[in-house]
Structure 1
Amino acid sequence: MTQEKTSDAPAIVWFRRDLRLADNPALMAAVETERPLVLLYIDETDLERPYGAAKKVWLHHSLNSLSKSIHDKGGKLLLREGPAEAVLDDVIKQSGAEAVFWNRRYEADGIERDSNIKASLQDRDIEVETFNGSLLTEPWEVETQAGGYYKVFTPYWRAASQVIGPRMAANPPLKAPNELIPFQKNLKEDELDLLPKSLDWDEKVMTDWSPGENGARDRLNSFLKGPIKEYTDARNIPSNETGTSRLSPHLAAGEISPKQIWQAARDGKHDADKFLSEIGWREFSYVLLYHNPKLAEKNYKADFDNFEWRTDKKSFEAWTKGQTGYPFVDAGMRELWQTGWMHNRVRMVVASFLIKHLLIDWRDGEAWFWDTLLEADPAANSASWQWVAGSGADAAPYFRIFNPFGQGEKFDEDGDYVRKFVPELKDIPNKYIQTPWKAPKEILKKAGVTLGETYPEPLVEHTHARERALSRYKESRGE
């Protein structure tokens, strides 16, 4: 419970991955003290794993949106840069704050620094209150009958849903505060340097997105008005721009909470089980990360530690640039670079291609996604890459190797997705759009395609790559 107001000293609300006013328990608890508020965001310079370039671009725009929303409620967002503990100490010294509120984070580095900061503040008789503002359940909360954490998604989600349903009925999402009482004294501010200096990527990418709480709410409402009805099938078609909710960047920044998504989907009486299970995978990923702090660095399954990865900078670069010679893979990698996002079906295919066709370490792919995904999330990113690699919890078996052109023929039957992101192939007939190397010379010539010049030959032949991957896997297991 938060303390009653004892003086005119302000309370600090430390925003992190909760860049919203509604359903923000730390903010609401601070508001209820009736103290003046210092609403603070710190660009932490001592993070163990700093945000990637794409995430920083999103953050820049999201903070602008949050600042405006706070201003409209009478408050002010204070932006600072530096090590979190030092910045907090400086703000407390300047303001005389007697309380600090924040919503928890769950990666090991965040837990450690937050615990140290909390202990230091409490030693100085400064009130600290922390809350769950980003998950439906705490990562340690849903346990197996034996008392451990779930390592398989389906039984985990079944058990978690039994907790979430009644809890949501009793504790619906919080409304945004009606007003914010600002702390009147001017405090030192920093100009955050989040946008890239040498690329015009920011302007191009943001044409597809509306960062901020209002953008998140609009995107959810649009999805629930119609596309959710077709979600089970449409979510696998990458050319269908309304087939998925595209809420992931908003969710990762905390512009919308999973509680808000859950309630909106259920209140609309939608058949939302499949959609909400994707929220469940996010929850499950945080369970895995909490119990396996090195999930982005270390194989979850130790028997993968013997796997011999290839070092092939040229092939890796071709993959990052969408120049593998496999159109469905290349379309996905170019979509990522151009929009900061990639369709989930395609993510599995491009990840499988890197890991199993090229035999390049999954950690290299995870790092590339961390830098280029607007939604880069410490739990979902690492858990998903390990899932595809076969080294993770409840993972696809290693021998499940996605066929990079078979997937395209199934889920991009008319080639719309490939033509959008690999326009040099736009005049190739549907029959060959996923396998241009099979097209007769006259068809390639008519389409203006010269393999090896205007579009690359495949980096590796599929059957050979598959056999090589399976052989390498058996070797790693001593078979």
Structure 2
Amino acid sequence: MTSSALVWFRRDLRCDDHAALYHALRRHARVFCAFVFDTDILDALPARHDRRVEFIHASVLALDAGLKALAAESGAPGGGLIVRHGVATECIVALARSLGVNEVLVNRDYEPAAIARDRQVKRALDEAGIVFSDYKDQVLLDRNEVLNGQGLPYSVFTPYKRAWLQQLDAFQLRPYPVARHARHLAAVPDADTAGAMPSLADIGFERTNLAELPLPAGMAGAQTLLQDFLPRMAAYGVARDYPARKGVSYLSTHLRFGTISIRRLAAQAHEQARQGSEGAQIWLSELAWRDFYFMILWHHPRVVEASFRPEYDQVQWDEAPELWDAWIGARTGYPLVDAAMRQLHQSGYMHNRLRMVVASFLTKDLGIDWRRGERHFAEHLNDYDLAANNGGWQWAASTGCDAQPWFRIFNPITQSQKFDPDGRFIRRYVPELARVPDRHIHFPAAMKPLELQACGLQLGQDYPLPVVDHALARARTLMRFEGLKK
């Protein structure tokens, strides 16, 4: 009897260097591929116009085409993607049963809800006599692969990174040769080819401004961004902190949805780093940060709602509804913070330096719980990833994995002066400050009446006055955290 398998695509929307697909093709004579627009996830989203859903939809279309092309090149009879719209746990089990497969293969997910979902699917498949297998694919080293001398997970990044780099060998960076076994791709059943791929409207969503953004979807979009970044990687260490410069890779959304392989990216960085590129070494460290936060989430799922350091759950955050509204409304009176929030809401993207600045501002200047900011980012970021988003917010709030003490507080004015010195980024997103001189663009509230008049700016009307005094807010934060020791 010929064995068959079903590969369930989730956050791995590519058909090259794909762990689960490779193992399925290597072990089985017929391999079906499926994706589910999961209503458990989609119905929980707060809006029907979501750039991430549109990005996923476009990437699923590209994956379907890629699988068909891969099959054609290998002489396989069909290829392609079976697509469902419904509750994933039900759809996948029903599909596996109807196809009569021996095994369902997936790439591993580390979020608590996804782990619970996969356990539910595994139980149902076990009852049907179908094997469920998962593989490491979205990270380089996961779970217990990087442990300290006591056999425990690291809680501080720097020693983790040293151990991570020591284990990052050629085997970890080697791509899975999917094309070598693509002849085993099975044709999409006639019952599925009869129904066209669902449109965005079919799954209940509207188009956004995604097409206007420099974020091409799918595997080809990822390759376009990678080829653009490779010549710039050497300068990454210097350019990455300046939001007005083209200094970062812009690949985070593609990493989030797996339209590009983490192994290929790390191999590129590793090779340039081996040749002495400092920028490549720093970018490789960013990939280590990503693995680190996945490891933390897997070992400590409580961080989704609680502080990594339990003692900081005692911090008394403020409700401050007016301050919260000013932060989400980009009306804080601190131009770099407001520009960053406008960038987020207009594009679904925020530069990494600015993520640290606005998170520090919310928690340390406004005294508002990091969890509220984390949830706001979760609603708006194209590249939202629970592990990295949670880790970043807890880092900024000083409740998480950080060797630095809680009295690290970003000054939004000096951050602006250092990383947007001529105000290019601010003027792009806060055009009402376009005529403000460079020396005042970072904090217009310090301008004298005649200076304000000269550039036609009326504070409190054209642009808000600061909602807090940074020096006083900093003092409050120090008292807030120092009180925990008493």
TM-score by length of 2: 0.90
Q: How many residues align?
A: 468
Q: Equivalents in 1 of 2:128, 2:196: separation in Å?
A: 24
Using the TM superposition, give the Cα deviation of residue 50 of structure 1 relative to its aligned residue in structure 2, in angstroms: 5.2
Kept in 2, the 8 Å contact 1:387–1:395? The answer is: no
Aligned to 1:221, the other structure's residue is in SS state helix
Q: Equivalents in 1 of 2:196, 2:112: separation in Å?
A: 29
Using the TM superposition, give the Cα deviation of residue 274 of structure 1 relative to its aligned residue in structure 2, in angstroms: 0.7
Q: 1:65 to 1:314 in 2, by over 3 A?
A: farther
2:418 is the alignment partner of 1:414: no
2:306 is the alignment partner of 1:298: yes
Q: Equivalents in 1 of 2:164, 2:131: separation in Å?
A: 32
- What residue number does 1:445 align with? 453
- Give RMSD over aligned pairs: 2.4
2:161 is the alignment partner of 1:161: no
Please list, as runs of the form range in 1=range in 2, the aligned pairs for 1:108-127 lying within 5 A after superposition: 108-127=112-131
- What residue number does 1:235 align with? 240
Q: Equivalents in 1 of 2:234, 2:321: separation in Å?
A: 43
- What residue number does 1:3 align with? none
2:309 is the alignment partner of 1:308: no
Higher share in helix: 2
Q: Equivalents in 1 of 2:368, 2:347: separation in Å?
A: 24
Pick the aligned partner of 2:13 from 6, 19, 23: 19
2:381 is the alignment partner of 1:373: yes
Pick the aligned partner of 2:253 from 249, 253, 256: 249
Pick the aligned partner of 2:65 from 68, 71, 81: 68
Please list, as runs of the form range in 1=range in 2, the aligned pairs for 1:41-440 lying within 5 A after superposition: 41-46=35-40, 53-73=50-70, 74-168=78-172, 171-176=174-179, 178=182, 180-187=185-192, 191=198, 202-203=208-209, 206-225=212-231, 227-241=232-246, 243-268=247-272, 269=275, 271=277, 272-394=280-402, 396-440=404-448
Kept in 2, the 8 Å contact 1:100–1:126? The answer is: yes
- What residue number does 2:467 align with? 459
Kept in 2, the 8 Å contact 1:301–1:391? The answer is: yes
Task: Name the stretch that deviates more: 338-347 or 112-121.
Answer: 112-121
Q: Equivalents in 2 of 1:329, 1:318: separation in Å?
A: 10
Q: 1:15 to 1:162 in 2, by over 3 A?
A: same
Q: 1:174 to 1:273 in 2, by over 3 A?
A: farther
Kept in 2, the 8 Å contact 1:37–1:183? The answer is: no
Q: 1:309 to 1:332 in 2, by over 3 A?
A: same
Kept in 1, the 8 Å contact 2:81–2:188? The answer is: no
Amino acid at match of 1:22: D
2:33 is the alignment partner of 1:39: yes
Task: Name the stretch that deviates more: 123-132 or 348-357.
Answer: 123-132
Could you list the runs of 5+ residues in structure 1 that have no partner in the other structure? 1-5
Q: Equivalents in 2 of 1:442, 1:359: separation in Å?
A: 34
Q: Equivalents in 2 of 1:147, 1:430: separation in Å?
A: 53
Q: Equivalents in 2 of 1:192, 1:418: separation in Å?
A: 38
Task: Name the stretch that deviates more: 27-36 or 303-312.
Answer: 27-36
Kept in 2, the 8 Å contact 1:81–1:192? The answer is: no
Q: Equivalents in 2 of 1:397, 1:193: separation in Å?
A: 46
Task: Name the stretch that deviates more: 35-44 or 338-347.
Answer: 35-44
Kept in 1, the 8 Å contact 2:21–2:178? The answer is: no
Task: Name the stretch that deviates more: 278-287 or 458-467.
Answer: 458-467
Using the TM superposition, give the Cα deviation of residue 342 of structure 1 relative to its aligned residue in structure 2, in angstroms: 0.9
Amino acid at match of 2:189: Q
Q: Equivalents in 1 of 2:327, 2:482: separation in Å?
A: 25
Q: 1:354 to 1:119 in 2, by over 3 A?
A: same
Using the TM superposition, give the Cα deviation of residue 34 of structure 1 relative to its aligned residue in structure 2, in angstroms: 5.0
Q: 1:222 to 1:260 in 2, by over 3 A?
A: same
Kept in 2, the 8 Å contact 1:24–1:133? The answer is: yes
* Structure 1 moving runs of 4+ over 4 Å: 47-52, 175-179, 192-200
Using the TM superposition, give the Cα deviation of residue 185 of structure 1 relative to its aligned residue in structure 2, in angstroms: 3.0
Using the TM superposition, give the Cα deviation of residue 192 of structure 1 relative to its aligned residue in structure 2, in angstroms: 6.5
Q: 1:128 to 1:199 in 2, by over 3 A?
A: closer
Task: Name the stretch that deviates more: 353-362 or 127-136.
Answer: 127-136
Aligned to 2:302, the other structure's residue is in SS state coil
Cα deviation 1:416-455 (Å, max 9, x = unaligned): 1101111111111101000111122233223232111111
Q: 1:301 to 1:192 in 2, by over 3 A?
A: farther
Amino acid at match of 1:45: T
Q: 1:413 to 1:205 in 2, by over 3 A?
A: farther
Using the TM superposition, give the Cα deviation of residue 286 of structure 1 relative to its aligned residue in structure 2, in angstroms: 0.8
Kept in 2, the 8 Å contact 1:13–1:37? The answer is: yes
Q: Equivalents in 2 of 1:198, 1:65: separation in Å?
A: 19
Kept in 2, the 8 Å contact 1:326–1:435? The answer is: yes
Q: Equivalents in 2 of 1:199, 1:310: separation in Å?
A: 36
Q: 1:216 to 1:18 in 2, by over 3 A?
A: same
Q: Equivalents in 2 of 1:211, 1:24: separation in Å?
A: 18
Amino acid at match of 1:145: G
Q: 1:383 to 1:61 in 2, by over 3 A?
A: same
Kept in 2, the 8 Å contact 1:57–1:194? The answer is: no
Q: 1:391 to 1:451 in 2, by over 3 A?
A: same
Cα deviation 1:286-342 (Å, max 9, x = unaligned): 111011112121111111121111112222122112111100111111111112111
Kept in 1, the 8 Å contact 2:37–2:203? The answer is: no
Task: Name the stretch that deviates more: 262-271 or 370-379.
Answer: 262-271
Using the TM superposition, give the Cα deviation of residue 133 of structure 1 relative to its aligned residue in structure 2, in angstroms: 1.1
Amino acid at match of 2:351: H
Task: Name the stretch that deviates more: 421-430 or 160-169.
Answer: 160-169
